[in-house]
Amino acid sequence: MSRHQKFSDLHQAGCFVMPNPWDIGSAKLMAAKGAVALATSSAGHAFTIGKPDMGYVTRDEALLHAAEIVAATPLPVNGDLENGYGDSPEAVAETIYLAGEVGLSGASIEDTTMRNDDPSYGFELAVARVAAGTKAARDLGRPFMFTARADGVMIGAYDMEEAIRRAQAFVAAGADVIYVPIPPSMADMARLCAAINKPVNGLAAGPFLQHTTAEFAAAGVRRISLGSAIARATHRVMDDALAAMLGDGHFTPLQHSISGDKIDKMLG
């Protein structure tokens, strides 16, 4: 079974966790711990090349990074491709074609403009972008899960009612998966899942870190991603350790680090 078909099949029943590596080593560690699929993280990747999140990484940089993650393990990989690196439907389509070329098994495209003054695309343009992306995905001639993201709730651009309206329109435009990051509550997540007939991606971040996989599944979620949560947790350790070492001059934050031998075994 190809990794692309496997990724498609994973969405047909149950609920699976899709962690987000930020480099080759983290991808291999996640695979060694039993992950069944991986996803790139735009923020996690940006941190590794010394850039902030949200619009600072170029399409070429993102696709090169995605190709490295694809090559790191046999697992299917979903690409976090932000807003498709362009406003037009044609830009989204081109990005999806390129995503297929580097071996991604799926990709997520946001309805965010990356501009503070006008953060979300208008409804009609957002739907047209999804339609163009899904057509490009079909043109690849093999399984490719196109995820349409409605990010307006997370960034404060629109409410949950508008997110559901967009989600339903994205499904009608051909999207394979719907992703509304950080609804107000798990009840709202369940309402979203009930409102559409396609798999929903849930994000384990912020207040949703208090919920279990079983609770996501009970709400109707088929796929749980972590976004940049693991990368940021790693940066938390670095921040705490460096503050201690370079401030008070003690090294105790490093006493709970994992052994090199264990890492070597997972990477091997």
Summarize pLDDT for 153-185 with one digit per residue, the tens: 999 999 999 999 999 999 999 999 999 999 999
Give the pLDDT mean for 240-248.
94
Q: Would the pLDDT of 235 be above 80?
A: yes
Share of the chain above pLDDT 70, in %: 100
Torsion of CA 240, 38, 165, 168, to 10 degrees: -170
Look up the pTM and report it.
0.95
Q: What is the pLDDT of residue 55?
A: 76
The structural domains of the chain, with segments of one domain joined by +, span 3-228
State the DSSP code for 207.
G
Summarize pLDDT for 39-70 with one digit per residue, the tens: 999 999 999 999 988 778 999 999 999 999 99
Q: Contact at 8 Å (CB) between 98 and 139?
A: no
Give the pLDDT mean for 22-42.
97
Q: Which two tokens stand for residue 195?
A: 């409102």
User: Scanning the structure block, which residue is given the tokens 């995605």?
Assistant: 66
In CATH, what number does 3-228 get?
3.20.20.60
Q: Would the pLDDT of 106 be above 80?
A: yes
Q: Contact at 8 Å (CB) between 59 and 98?
A: yes
Q: What is the pLDDT of residue 1?
A: 59
Summarize pLDDT for 120-140 with one digit per residue, the tens: 999 999 999 999 999 999 999
H runs (alpha helix) in the chain: 3-10, 24-32, 42-48, 59-72, 89-101, 123-139, 152-155, 160-172, 186-195, 213-219, 229-243, 260-267
